[in-house]
Amino acid sequence: MKELELKHPVTAHGETVSVLEFNEPTGKDVRELGYPYQMNQDESIKLQAHIIAKYIVKLASVPLSTVDQMSPADLNSAGWLVAGFFLQG
Residue 20, judged by CB atoms within 10 A of its CB (0-12, 13-18, 19+), counts as buried
Per residue in 47-82, pLDDT (tens digit) is: 999 999 999 999 999 999 999 999 999 999 999 999
pLDDT > 90 in the chain, percent: 94
> Which residues constitute the domain of residue 51?
2-86
Give the separation between CA 65 and CA 11, rounded to whole angstroms. Answer: 8
Work out how many domains the chain is built from and give that number: 1
- Whether residue 17 contacts residue 66, with contact meaning beta carbons closer than 8 Å, is answered with yes
DSSP of 27-43, one letter per residue? HHHHHHH--SEEE-TTS
| 38 strand-pairing partners | 46
Per residue in 4-32, pLDDT (tens digit) is: 999 999 999 999 999 999 999 999 999 99
- β-pairing, 37-39 with 45-47? antiparallel
